[in-house]
Amino acid sequence: MGVFATTDDLETTGHEQVVFCQDKQTGLKAIIGIYSTALGPALGGTRFYPYASEEAALADVLDLSRGMAYKNALAGLDLGGGKAVIWGDPEQVKSEALLRAYGRFVQSLGGRYYTACDVGTYVPDMDVIARETRYVTGRSVEHGGAGDSSVLTAWGVFQGMRAAVELTWGVPTLNGRRVGVAGLGKVGRHLLGHLLDDGAEVVAADVNPRALEWARATHPQVTLVEDAAALVATDIDVYAPCALGGSLNDDTVAALRAKVVAGSANNQLAHPGVEKLLADRGILYAPDYVVNAGGVIQVADEIEGFDFERAKLRATRIYDTTREILRLAEADGVPPGVAADRLAERRMAEIGRLRTIHLR
């Protein structure tokens, strides 16, 4: 599959625009994917990654940009979905010139696409890109940016978890529940704090001994297990995957003792059939892209001029959105992921259609 063959694929994926950007001097090879601008400019981060091939880079950007459209729609943002990938090893090729060359391509889209951080790109990189384009967010606090997005990601996960717990046990609180947190990284640590404040008993896992040391030192009441595989088999009420994607597979679902799954990791289901496995076992799954939208809400707020309290209020609404999705899923007899997609598509269609009302 090359650039031209892709045209056929775009017909099936429905993307609006895919832009290939090259700057030979700096070695920049980037692809910007815009899935939809029905709700506003497309927002999504830039992934800097040494893909095995152009095809792999393209497949990823198509997939990720579509995901952002759905995430931004359900987060209630006036933003469409896009994403970009820079093909290469950031350790080897990332430079000021390369990032600024990339920034010029982002600028050339005239605001159809806003970029932000993703795997392999960090807040200081956004400050460099911003020297060439105004269509960048997730900048440093010194530059009026939102800073670390894991703060509101964790807050949003907590809100989504409350909604799922309410549907399962009748009350929107984690008080007295046993919650298993897999991954004590940036998000997991903030989430741990919210859970303990709410009166939950927490069992946590991380493969990094430093993360476990941090938990021992700061929250001695937390029970620690060595990895996520051990955690799923533990007697817990709620499972919060906050490490890598794909952690819910045929084996982990079969072993899982929790009744609710709500966590920050992207793409938690190893394959689409896992959602049915969860439903068959009576486990309520709060869709990952719904509950982990706090981070994008945080960086999107920066476009208006960052205000933490306003952004936090928006992330708090993840509780309402999750509740609506889970109820819709129940009423329609479909898995929560399907209900979430339907709601996102409905908002994109209903609000997107308004642009057909002509304004002078």
Active site residues: 83
**Sole window of 9-17, 242-250, 333-341, 343-351 interacting with ligand NAD (rule: CB under 6 A):** 242-250
**Site membership for ligand NAD, residue 168 (CB under 6 A):** no
Least distance from ligand NAD to the Cβ atom of residue 339, Å: 20
**Site membership for ligand NAD, residue 186 (CB under 6 A):** yes
The CB-side HSE value for 112 (13 A sphere, CA atoms) comes to 16
| DSSP class per residue in 67-126 | HHHHHHHHTT-S-EEEEEEEES-HHHH--HHHHHHHHHHHHHTTTSEEB-B-TT--HHHH
When binding is defined by CB under 6 A, the residue of 6, 137, 153, 321 that contacts ligand NAD is 153
52's CB contacts (< 8 A; 6+ apart) are none
Name the DSSP class of 117. B
Q: Which of 221, 212, 248 is nearest to 232 (CA)?
A: 248
In the complex with ligand NAD, the residue whose CB is nearer, 242 or 262, is 242
CA angle 352, 355, 356 (to 5 degrees): 110
**Site membership for ligand NAD, residue 172 (CB under 6 A):** no
Residue 205 in contact with residue 215, Cβ under 8 Å?
no
Distance CA 300, CA 291 (A): 16
Indicate the residue whose CB is closest to ligand NAD.
185
In the complex with ligand NAD, the residue whose CB is nearer, 33 or 138, is 138
**Site membership for ligand NAD, residue 184 (CB under 6 A):** yes
**Sole window of 5-13, 58-66, 81-89, 183-191 interacting with ligand NAD (rule: CB under 6 A):** 183-191
In this structure, what token pair is assigned to residue 83?
Answer: 């994403």
Residue that is written with structure tokens 């090879």 in the block: 29
Q: Number of helices (H) and strands (E), helices first, in the chain?
A: 16, 12
Residue that is written with structure tokens 């970029």 in the block: 115
144 is in an annotated binding site: no
Residue 214 in contact with residue 195, Cβ under 8 Å?
no
232 is in an annotated binding site: no
145 is in an annotated binding site: no
**Sole window of 93-101, 126-134, 185-193, 271-279 interacting with ligand NAD (rule: CB under 6 A):** 185-193
Binding mask 286-305 for ligand NAD (x = CB under 6 A): ------x--x----------
**Site membership for ligand NAD, residue 30 (CB under 6 A):** no
184 is in an annotated binding site: yes
18 is in an annotated binding site: no
When binding is defined by CB under 6 A, the residue of 137, 149, 168, 321 that contacts ligand NAD is 149
312 is in an annotated binding site: no
Least distance from ligand NAD to the Cβ atom of residue 332, Å: 27
Binding annotation for NAD(+): 183-188
Which residues bind to ligand NAD, rule: CB under 6 A? 149-150, 153, 182-188, 205-208, 211, 227-228, 242-245, 264-266, 292, 295
